[in-house]
Amino acid sequence: MLVLSRKKNESIVINNDITIVVVEIRGDKVRLGVEAPKEVPVHRREVYDAIKRNESGQSATDASANMESE
């Protein structure tokens, strides 16, 4: 893992088209702004994990339905 230090209003650029900006630092919380192309999904980790769980559950349901129809 690459670890970088940034101050308020400083940014990080990823792959020439994604920019992460430190918007605010308040106590132990940091607010980040993400600028990315619309086709690049950006989620908080807990939302991403929920999406993946839902997708894998849906895949299992689809596979089960396919087995029953055969």
pLDDT tens sequence across 17-67: 999 999 999 999 999 999 999 999 999 999 999 999 999 887 666 655 555
pLDDT at 2 over 60: yes
CB–CB of 32/24 below 8 Å?
Answer: no
Asked if the model's pLDDT at residue 69 lies above 70, the reply is: no
pLDDT score at 3: 97
Gyration radius from the chain CA atoms? 19
Quick one: which of 27, 26, 21, 25 has its CA closest to 9?
Answer: 21
Residues facing residue 34 across a β-bridge: 20
The answer to whether the CB of 21 falls within 8 A of the CB of 10 is yes
Residue 70 is predicted with a pLDDT of 59
pTM of the model: 0.73
Distance CA 23, CA 42 (A): 17
